[in-house]
Amino acid sequence: MDSAEFHSAVYHIVRQIPPQHVTTYGNIARLIGMPQHARHVALKFLSPEVNPPVPWHRVLSSSGAISSRGPGTDGANRQAQELEAEGIDVTQTRSGDLKVDLHRWGWFPEAGSIDTNWS
């Protein structure tokens, strides 16, 4: 899978995440058939401006934590606000991290149970 196909596959899966649900970078990687590439999926969302838009705010780390978009950015707060606007509960941990309960809000479909025709 080349870079363009990878991007297309990631965005195609993310567009299928239902409102009021979240998933993980690793789950997206698994669903596109590249389970060892969760970090590459995460890097796609450092800058969430994609055209056409994708619900980037619904993708989290494997612990349910909202990842920072880098020093001096407000990406984590923006993501939390987007999730809360959908009705998803975002909590703040003792260390100050923002987190979502994956057991309650998670979307983890079986491979083959969703549309994977991204080409």
Task: Supply the CATH number for residue 83's domain.
Answer: 1.10.10.10
In a domain, 111, yes or no: no
pLDDT at 57 over 60: yes
User: Minimal CA–CA distance to 47: which of 66, 27, 64, 69?
Assistant: 69
- Better-predicted residue by pLDDT, 105 or 45: 105
In a domain, 118, yes or no: no
Round to whole Å and give the CA distance between 18 and 108. 11
pLDDT at 71 over 80: no
pLDDT at 119 over 70: no
Which pLDDT tens digit goes with each residue over 72-102?
667 788 899 999 999 999 999 998 889 999 9
In a domain, 8, yes or no: yes
In a domain, 23, yes or no: yes
Element (H, E) at 84: helix 75-85
Domain count, the chain: 1
pLDDT number for residue 42: 86
The predicted model gives 101-113 an average pLDDT of 93
Residue 100, domain extent? 3-105
In a domain, 22, yes or no: yes
Q: What is the pLDDT of the chain when averaged over all its residues? A: 87
In a domain, 110, yes or no: no
The band of 38, judged by pLDDT with boundaries at 50, 70 and 90, is very high
In a domain, 28, yes or no: yes
User: Minimal CA–CA distance to 60: which of 45, 40, 81?
Assistant: 45
In a domain, 33, yes or no: yes
- Better-predicted residue by pLDDT, 29 or 54: 29
